[in-house]
Amino acid sequence: MKPIRIIPDGTNIHFMKHRFWSFPLSGTLVVASIIMFLVAGLNYGIDFKGGTLIEIQTAEEVADLGNIRGKLNALDLGDVEVQEFGAPNDVLIRVEAQGGDGEDAELAQQQVVDLVKETLGNTVTYRRVEVVGPRVSGELATTGTISVLAALFAVLVYIWFRFEWQFALGAVIATAHDVILTIGIFALLQIEFNLTTIAAILTIVGYSLNDTVVVYDRIREDLRKYKKMPLRQVLDQAINQTLSRTTLTSFTTLLALGSLYFLGGEVIRSFTFAMIWGVFVGTYSSIFIAAPLLIFLSLRSEQVQSPAETDEAGNVSAP
């Protein structure tokens, strides 16, 4: 059996020429993402806003959202959102965090659940109930932000020790690019941003870093082997040599994520959407951002030395 190849052998694409449009494009998207985050903001889920989330299933084939909304608004619980969630008879109810601090707030949230169940009665099936107090939601937002920043810092340290500082800086810029664009698309589409989205972003960091390290490792090998070859040509060659592996990995990952997105239900849809988007931008940044950045960071082959040097023919010479 012949191996599966998406990219044929001998492919020679001049990726470095495309940096003249990829950098302006990425810069524009990053700025637009930051503006969207500051202006429109994120559609924070209950994990970050606090409140009560109740998922129910009605006996009717199509839920009467107006009737349910009217009953809950009569309870005077503040902002109440009622929306279809998946199937026509699945309903998601969100109630804003109730006033008070500490134990009083937690008790008030529990009372909301009791009131909703008493109002809707036994005519519906309660599939999920989540209660998050204001204090807990604030802690989750803080720890989620810290986790993403800590991951980026760990990437910087790891690549710095394994490669050179140019590689480390390029990997962090490319990874930060992926994270910012992910936040931007969530702000643009107003998809719910919750703890599972934070988990997806951390996974994107690891996925993007893995792709970038594969490309960087081949660049380092070619820099040692072809010392007289121009840097741009070395970068093009390294990307072409790893292009088949990069595209095949992304393709198989997207197959699994596509199944989760369309068949996994609404609960994990924000997670799978973030992952699908992250695979696209992570693959793009590894090829069109991380590698070309080495040119602007003045990387030279003399900075990458090995105990045994090799010439263009691959002959090993003494150090």
What is the pLDDT, as a whole number, of residue 166?
Answer: 85
Q: Which amino acid is at 144?
A: G
pLDDT at 304 over 50: no
Instruction: For the chain, give the mean pLDDT.
Output: 81
What is the pLDDT, as a whole number, of residue 104?
Answer: 65
What would the pLDDT profile of 129-151 be if each residue is shown by its tens digit?
887 766 666 677 788 788 888 88
- Say which residues have a Cβ less than 8 Å from residue 301's Cβ, sequence separation at least 6: 223, 224, 226, 227, 229, 231, 234
Q: Which of 23-27, 67-71, 99-103 has the lowest mean pLDDT?
A: 99-103
Q: What does CATH list as the number for 51-132?
A: 3.30.70.3400
In terms of DSSP H, where are the helices of the chain? 19-39, 46-49, 65-73, 103-120, 134-162, 165-189, 195-225, 231-263, 269-285, 291-296
Query: Could you give the count of Cα atoms lying within 13 Å of 29 in the half-sphere of its Cβ?
Result: 18
Element (H, E) at 267: none
Of the two residues 111 and 276, the one the predictor is more confident about is 276
| Sign of the alpha-carbon torsion through 96, 98, 100, 102 | negative
CATH superfamily of 15-43+137-307: Multidrug efflux transporter AcrB transmembrane domain (1.20.1640.10)
Mean pLDDT, residues 252-279: 87
Of the two residues 99 and 50, the one the predictor is more confident about is 50
Q: Which amino acid is at 45?
A: G
In terms of DSSP H, where are the helices of 100-194? 103-120, 134-162, 165-189
Strand partners, 125: 57
Q: Tell me the domain boundaries of the chain.
A: 15-43+137-307, 51-132
Of the two residues 12 and 22, the one the predictor is more confident about is 22
What is the pLDDT, as a whole number, of residue 110?
Answer: 77
Return d(Cα 257, Cα 136) in angstroms, integer: 30
What would the pLDDT profile of 224-259 be if each residue is shown by its tens digit?
888 888 888 888 889 888 888 888 888 888 999 999
